[in-house]
């Protein structure tokens, strides 16, 4: 197999087979995660066949070049920013869970309706910042940090 799209399609088929096993084992969260990799992979193989048509061929080549060049470059740059900011937010947000666990009469108690963010480790902080980049955040939760103005300033950077 020398075509990258065929390799991606093979990986997508393996993921679909794994989804069937995960459905039998009743693991829906893991099944959805594997399925999120399988579905785009199967569509990429469809683009392989669309290259041969005169009407869609140049468009597919343009999509391939965008994926290979621009999106790869964007992912590298954004991951560098996320890694650097995750170190800062790890130290800023690691006390949020401790403040939620305090007694309600304590002056440092923080009341938040639900838990959106997780700053337990550097990897969890990286995933939390990625979720924040996709607009999955609760702004009031940053009021629970020890350095609230700094956390909110870094959030808008």
pLDDT category at 102 given cuts 50, 70, 90 is: confident
Average pLDDT over residues 50-54: 80
DSSP state of 67: I
pLDDT tens digits for range 61-86: 888 788 778 888 888 998 898 898 88
- The dihedral through the CA atoms of 31, 33, 37, 39 has a sign that is positive
pTM over 0.75, yes/no: no
- The dihedral through the CA atoms of 19, 23, 25, 31 has a sign that is positive
Average pLDDT over residues 46-70: 81
Residue 129: which residues within 8 A CB-CB, separation 6 or more? 82, 85, 86, 89
pLDDT for the residue 14: 93
Whether residue 1 has pLDDT greater than 50: no
First to last CA, the chain: 45
Whether residue 2 has pLDDT greater than 60: no
Average pLDDT over residues 15-38: 92
pLDDT for the residue 57: 83
Average pLDDT over residues 1-25: 85
């Amino acid at each position: 197999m020398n075509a990258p799209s065929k390799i991606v399609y093979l990986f997508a088929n393996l993921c679909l087979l794994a989804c069937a096993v995960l459905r039998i084992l009743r693991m829906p969260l893991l099944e959805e995660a594997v399925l999120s990799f399988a579905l785009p992979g199967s569509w990429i193989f469809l683009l392989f066949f669309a290259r041969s048509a005169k009407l869609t061929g140049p468009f597919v080549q343009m999509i391939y070049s965008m994926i290979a060049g621009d999106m790869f470059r964007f992912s590298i740059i954004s991951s560098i920013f996320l890694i650097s900011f995750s170190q800062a937010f790890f130290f800023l947000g690691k006390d949020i869970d401790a403040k939620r666990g305090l007694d309600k009469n304590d002056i440092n108690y923080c009341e938040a309706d639900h838990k959106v963010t997780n700053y337990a480790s550097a990897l969890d902080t990286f995933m939390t910042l990625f979720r924040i980049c996709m607009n999955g955040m609760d702004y009031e939760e940053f009021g629970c940090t020890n350095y609230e103005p700094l956390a909110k300033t870094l959030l808008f950077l």
